[in-house]
Amino acid sequence: MVNVVDLPWRSLSSPVWGYFSIRNAMRSVRAVRKNGQDITLCVGPGHLPIAAFISCFLKVPHFFYAVGKSMSPALRFFLGSIIANCEETQDSFAQWLKRNPKTIPVIRARINLSVFKPSVQDNPDRNTVKAVTMSRLVLGKSEGIAIMMKAILMLNKKNKRIDLEVFGDGDGIEALKAEADRINDEVGINIISIRGKIRSVQNELPYYDIALGIGRGTWESMACGIPTIVVGKEGLGGIVCSETLSKLMRHNFTARGNREKRDTKDVADAIETLLDDPDYRKEVGDYGLDVVRKHYDVRTGARYLERILQHAVTAGSDRCLPTNPALLISLIFLKVFHVSKCLAKWICHPRESLYVFQNTRNLSRCSQNNISTIQGHLMNGQKI
């Protein structure tokens, strides 16, 4: 049973505190009481203040699924359990909260393998190897794309024919298009294409020979059996193979484990390794597909999460406390503090604040669209 509760976003608050208001908090408490929820699961730091408020009134087990090292003050008031998306997140939260890392389970992000098709091996244009990368083209992501583009340029200057196509959209797309045009003009042919938003990635991926990127983009490429290289703003993460898998999984398939100097040549060398050895390329592609099947299949993650939540319901809510006036006052004080800090940022850094506001507004709109879709399914009697 899925019950949808619409909590309005507060634009003047920071992303972490955008959903927290007394009205939203009381609406959440009433909804949990009315529907008799056995558990609450937060999937982002923006939900933590609400969960802390609910825990003051109801002894319902709370879980926070942490997908990054977001150290919010709200965590100090969160009375539930934490689930990490990788070992890097697990260690950071354990150190910050002074807990044993083993008490924080790891559930990796998942993909639905059934929607991805195997890579097309018979490429009619064997003279040109096609590479692909997928990402939101925003601050923090575009830097990695720029490194890939420079690496592709280096290889073509060495007469290693390879093209790169970029899937994605965002505020940084115009700057990347300008850089792609500059590179294409320099070599005299189109070796880099910015494709923009792609609606059916799973139907496009099988026609590429090599994938570059981080996070979900790497898993989806690996699900098609495409040899994959992890490249982010930190530089080269590594080719996905048995020698690098442990480090890459620890850092959620990002390049954050790269302790060396960020060097475009390292990325170019990794790509060249796959270019020069088609047999190794196939071996790496098969290995990546096997990794996804074992560790990133949505069914495996669902079973693991079900066991954790079932244990919490059976064991009872030993971490949740009865109403604590001091906690309520502290939450309200922190809300006022964050609103004041956001107003100060608007005055001191208006351009930066406008950029953050636009991003959070877009995320809020996406959430509203998702809510409308879920409500429509429920009204039609469809399963979620």
Give the model confidence (pLDDT) of 186-209 as tens digits.
999 999 999 999 988 999 999 999
- pLDDT given at position 359: 61
Q: What is the pLDDT of residues 37-69, one digit of tens each?
A: 888 888 777 777 888 777 777 778 888 888 887
Phi, psi values for residue 263, rounded to 5°: -135, 120
Q: What is the pLDDT of residues 143-169, one digit of tens each?
A: 999 999 999 999 999 999 999 999 999
Percent of the chain exceeding pLDDT 90 equals 42
- pLDDT given at position 151: 96
- pLDDT given at position 259: 76
The mean of the pLDDT values for the chain is: 82
Phi, psi values for residue 163, rounded to 5°: -110, 155
Residues 6+ positions from 341 with CB-CB distance below 8 Å: 14
Sequence ranges of the chain with CATH classification 3.40.50.2000 = 113-296
Max avg pLDDT among 76-90, 261-275, 310-324: 261-275
Rounded Cα distance, 303 and 76, in Å = 29
CB burial string 315-342: b at 16+ within 10 A, e below: eebeebeeebeebbeebbebbeebeeeb
- pLDDT given at position 366: 52
Residues 6+ positions from 139 with CB-CB distance below 8 Å: 171, 172, 355
- The residue-averaged pLDDT of 301-317 equals 79
- The residue-averaged pLDDT of 11-38 equals 79
- pLDDT given at position 316: 58
pTM: 0.80
Class level of CATH domain 113-296: alpha beta
Report residue 26's pLDDT band, with 50, 70 and 90 as the boundaries: confident
What is the CATH number that goes with domain 15-109+299-379?
3.40.50
Report residue 292's pLDDT band, with 50, 70 and 90 as the boundaries: very high
- The residue-averaged pLDDT of 18-36 equals 83
- The residue-averaged pLDDT of 257-266 equals 85
Which residue did the predictor score with more confidence, 383 or 34?
Answer: 34
Q: In terms of DSSP bridges, do strands 192-196 and 162-167 run parallel, antiparallel, or are they unpaired?
A: parallel
Rounded Cα distance, 345 and 374, in Å = 36
C-beta separation of 210 from 221 below 8 A: no
Percent of the chain exceeding pLDDT 70 equals 82
